[in-house]
A and B are shown apart, each in its own frame.
Chain A
Amino acid sequence: MKKIGLLLLTSLLILGGACSENGDEPTGINSFRVTIVEGETGSNADRVPFPEDPVQYVLDIRALDFDGKVDKSYDGKVAISVQPAGALGEDTPSRVAVENGVAERVEIELERCHGDVTIWVEDAGGVDTSGSYAVGASPVLHFAYPTIAQMQRWHDFESSALRGDFVELRVADRNVVVTNIRRDGFYCQDLDEGEGEHGGVYVYTHNRPDGVIIGSKLIALRGQVSEFFGFTELGFPDYVAAPGQELALPDPAVIDASLLADDEAMEGLESSLVAVTDVLVCPLDEQYTLYDQWPVLVDPNGSCYSEEGAGVILVAETGGYDEIDPPSLEGTQLRQVTGTLRYHYLATPSWMIIPRSADDVR
């Protein structure tokens, strides 16, 4: 009992210092009330479709004092943003005037919003004035989770629409299958997307992934969208595979010389299962020594020595397969190389196939 008493006394002493007090009476604005006058908010059960094109909302904004009343003395330009994911439409001003504490029927456009987001209003000050940094958030807007293709597809085909976002992907009601497992992640592909329609993504797990095999059907997938040397990855992921449920793998998309020459079309196949046929193994260079990547000539009319690797694709990450000895294959013809498609903008050429096993190189 003595010990408990001592413990309590100690905790009281400790916490005397831990709690702080700021006795000044606060003044000025404390927050904003942001209401949505027009525009769909959706709900958990019925989400607003993922906006690939801008969607319009109309807001009312009110500056509130510390008593929660409209502060009519407030005039200023407030910053508008959407958090934690999404963007304002190109034509939406990032600052809006609030007069006498009120701004009504403020029209904004939102795009690339996914999951639960809110529209933020912030008194961030101006170039010459400091703000109070009071904020207000709109009611939650419930947007649909994007599919893999919606995440990948973007007018700048070398990037992805949701680059830099933490994203929950829509997989539970789709057929998303694990197609290739590597030592630091896995590839998966949405079978409900057409060939070349951006249905694949690499999930970077840092270590060999647990809980999935080739053929696993994913029922949950979320993570951070990043571009690793031009290759879209889902980093720091969280994923769940349906127990005991496997899907048949798709037929690989065949890459020929004309497809290989079309970067935009190739981008649509990134991380999908692909194959090249009747290819010549080119002479190995330092990319093999340093990075375990070896070139094969896809274009029957091309050359292993063409500028920028035109007509050539790399085969990579075969070092773990004892059955494959690339130096002994130099100058030989391979009937087919199958694997998942990867990109690295510093490699020459930049596209490469990652076989799933030694059987994928025939």
Chain B
Amino acid sequence: MLTRFVRIGRRLRSKVFLLMLFVLLGCSYVGPDVDLSNQDIRLTILHTSDIHSRILPYDYSPLYTERMLGLVEDRTPFGGLARIATIVKRERKKAQRSLWVDSGDAFQGAPIFNVFQGEPEIRALSTAGLDVFVLGNHEFDAGPANTAEQLSKWAAFPVLGANYRWDVSKSHTAQMQKMVQPFVVKNIDGLRVGIIGMGNTSSMYSLGEGDNSLGVQPLDPLQLAQQYADTLRPDVDVLILLSHLGLSEDLMLARNICGIDVIMGGHHHVALDPPTVVPYSPVKAEVQHLENFAYRKDCEDAATIVSHPQAFAKFVGRLDLIVRNGEIKSHSYELIPVDATVPDDADVWEVLEPYYIELTHELDLDRVLAVADIDLDRFGAAGGDSMLGNFVAEAMQLRPGVETDFCVTNSLGIRTDIQEGDILLEHLFNVLPFENTITTVYMSGIEVQEMLDYATQRSAGRGCSSQIQVAGITFTMNCRTGRAEDILIAGLPLNYGAVYEMATNNYMAWGGSGFEMLARNTSKVDTGISMRAAVIDYLSSHPHLPSCDYQIDDIDQCASGFAIEDGRIHTVY
């Protein structure tokens, strides 16, 4: 992958440089004639990320860590773009020079996206006055043509993605190439602010239909960002990298790049409050693939501020910088909750209201499907199987017309917990927002071992928190050895010579999350049955969850369908 990045980087170099130079010349004559030299100038950057279609307020019980960040339990419902617009307007009034940037993944995660495919998200962001947006991986969840259509029709803001190379032989990607810019330079009352955009690369599996039919090739963000930084830096006062690369990648860039002041990131749904400050300290292993890398003495004492504002429209980040003569002198940060105390902005609500009305007509979102007697978690307490994961996997495995030996589904396909109380149809859209279908596949025992070994290794790199949820199968996930051990299917030891039928989702079946052994398998059959529909049907026969008191009853006495953690995946770490 790295060598491919290098080759592309070499090819791009001259064009990129010329393009940037031209762009800067194009910018240099505009802007007010204000001499800001030798003065402390304040720049306020408002930041959202991973809104995930939570553009209408939603009920939610904040986690402990979220309460520590300022979410107050009885101020539900949270989120909503009309409220974000109110906060942005209010904070802009309390700023000298301001900018609102969004780090992507505005799409996917609430039923409004399933019905309208992102149109209200982009329209509302435009009306709310978003200044700059970078593409996230979930912008492509309804297909790349939809991304191009929604953005070209409704976006009133620049869309960035410097590290995507578009295959212009396809009409939608040609459209994206025209629309997506590598960076912008804003002149805010004499303060020149450069913003480079970097879209996601680590979740490229999820682009398109699992086979990367998106028509985009990711480019090495490190090499590109340094090139852009070198060219833009002399002509801007502040240089921002707007990123949907993810936290670890953002930190890697911050360590290794000279010249970027701030990275405003997203993708991992974390809040950095306060922001992390990363000194320039290149790491040999991370830069060795770069052609002619040299340590930059001029950045010896430099540092980059890295900021992430969490997700699901729960917060707006506010970063204030004091800039003097093109250098950041100081910064302060605040994370502002988007809760019931914030009124709706009338202009944005006017945009959203018709969608809301149509949505409630189209889907009976308040329909009660069942009752959760306690919170149903999507991650297991000990890192293995989870209450919600077990229930979803069972619903898929036992669905009439599927009925396989066992089921494996990816944990991150289950996007949120179910909280105690009525389980509404709306909650099911939040838990399972993707339009995934159940796919069946025949596998030998050896292939099952290979798949579970891979899942174990992937989980080991994530705190030994299982990246899969299962039904009909149990095993020990040994994160020390990276091996799946003691595998039992229907209570019997795995037989390498036997053939098993597995249910999974179409994302994994086509190689998503790195399950390439499934992508290779030619026996796949997409049943066309929606995962969400299977779970809704399964709930109809389980009106109360968990339907067995796992603290009192012997777990062995509980049959399937009880939404309990029952040790299907035993973790060793």
Contact = CB atoms under 8 A, between A and B. Distances in A.
Given A18-B158, A19-B27, A290-B381, A206 B18 contact: no
Contact of A66 (B34, B251, B301): B34
A320 B26 contact: no
B397 interface: no
A225 B27 CA distance: 42
A100 interface: no
A286 B277 CA distance: 42
B23 A15 contact: yes
Interface string A228-248: 110000001010000000000
B573 A320 contact: yes
Interface in A12-39: 12, 14-26, 30-33
6 contacts: A4-B15, A15-B185, A84-B330, A140-B330, A166-B276, A183-B463
B329 A140 contact: yes
Contact of A292 (B251, B272, B382, B551): B382
Contacts of A206: 462-463
Contacts of B382: 292, 319
A120 B178 CA distance: 43
A15 B27 contact: yes
B332 A120 contact: yes
A64 interface: yes
A68 B551 CA distance: 70
A224 B332 CA distance: 15
A165 B39 CA distance: 28
A224 B272 contact: yes
Given A15-B27, A23-B32, A118 B463 contact: no
B565 to A, nearest CB: 9
Contact of A322 (B37, B94, B329, B572): B572
A83 B330 contact: yes
Contacts of A85: 274
A22 B191 CA distance: 11
Interface of B: 15, 18-19, 22-23, 26-27, 30-32, 34-42, 64-65, 68, 93-96, 158, 178, 181, 184-189, 247, 251, 270, 272-278, 301, 320, 322, 324, 329-333, 381-383, 460-464, 479, 551, 571-573
Contact of B39 (A8, A64, A131): A64
Interface string A104-134: 0000000000000110100010000011111
A7 interface: yes
Interface residues of A, number: 70
When A and B form their complex, which 10 residue pairs have the shortest distance between CB atoms, in order from nearest? A18-B184, A118-B330, A183-B573, A83-B332, A207-B463, A31-B39, A19-B27, A31-B40, A15-B26, A135-B42
A291 B381 contact: yes
Given A22-B32, A228-B65, 16 more contacts: A4-B18, A11-B22, A15-B27, A15-B184, A18-B184, A19-B27, A19-B30, A32-B40, A83-B331, A84-B277, A84-B332, A124-B94, A166-B274, A208-B463, A222-B277, A223-B276
Contact of B189 (A22, A183, A286): A22
B272 A236 contact: yes
Given A84-B274, A290-B381, A208 B464 contact: yes
B558 to A, nearest CB: 14
Contacts of A135: 40, 42, 96, 320, 322
A26 B34 contact: yes
Contact of A286 (B383, B460, B551): B551
A49 interface: no
Contact of A19 (B26, B65, B278): B26
Contacts of A292: 382
A231 to B, nearest CB: 12
Nearest to A291: B381
A18 B184 CA distance: 6
Interface in A61-114: 64, 66-68, 81, 83-85
A18 B510 CA distance: 39
Nearest to A12: B26
Interface string A256-282: 000000000000000000000000000
Nearest to B333: A84
Nearest to B44: A133
A18 B27 contact: yes
B498 to A, nearest CB: 28
Interface of A: 4, 7-8, 10-12, 14-26, 30-33, 44, 64, 66-68, 81, 83-85, 117-118, 120, 124, 130-137, 140, 164-166, 183-184, 206-208, 222-224, 226-229, 236, 238, 286, 289-292, 319-320, 322
A7 B15 contact: yes
Given A208-B464, A224-B274, A137 B18 contact: no
A118 to B, nearest CB: 4
Contacts of B36: 30
A187 B318 CA distance: 32
A313 B380 CA distance: 25
A10 B31 contact: no
A20 B191 CA distance: 11
A21 B551 contact: no
A332 B554 CA distance: 25
Contacts of B94: 124, 131, 133
A8 to B, nearest CB: 5
A30 B38 CA distance: 11
- The listed residue with most A CB atoms (<10 A of its CB), out of B38, B461, B573, is B573
B329 A12 contact: no
Contacts of B178: 10
B381 A207 contact: no
Nearest to B39: A31
Contact of B270 (A236, A238, A289): A236
B464 A183 contact: yes
A238 B303 CA distance: 14
Contacts of B329: 118, 137, 140
A11 B23 contact: yes
A14 B102 CA distance: 19
B386 to A, nearest CB: 13
Contact of B22 (A12, A131, A166, A290): A12
Given A68-B39, A84-B274, A84-B332, A238 B251 contact: yes
Contacts of A31: 39-42
Nearest to B460: A208
- The listed residue with most A CB atoms (<10 A of its CB), out of B42, B186, B272, B333, is B42
A8 B42 contact: no
Contacts of A208: 460-461, 463-464, 479, 573
Contacts of B551: 286, 289-290
A235 B380 CA distance: 21
- The listed residue with most B CB atoms (<10 A of its CB), out of A24, A81, A134, A165, is A134
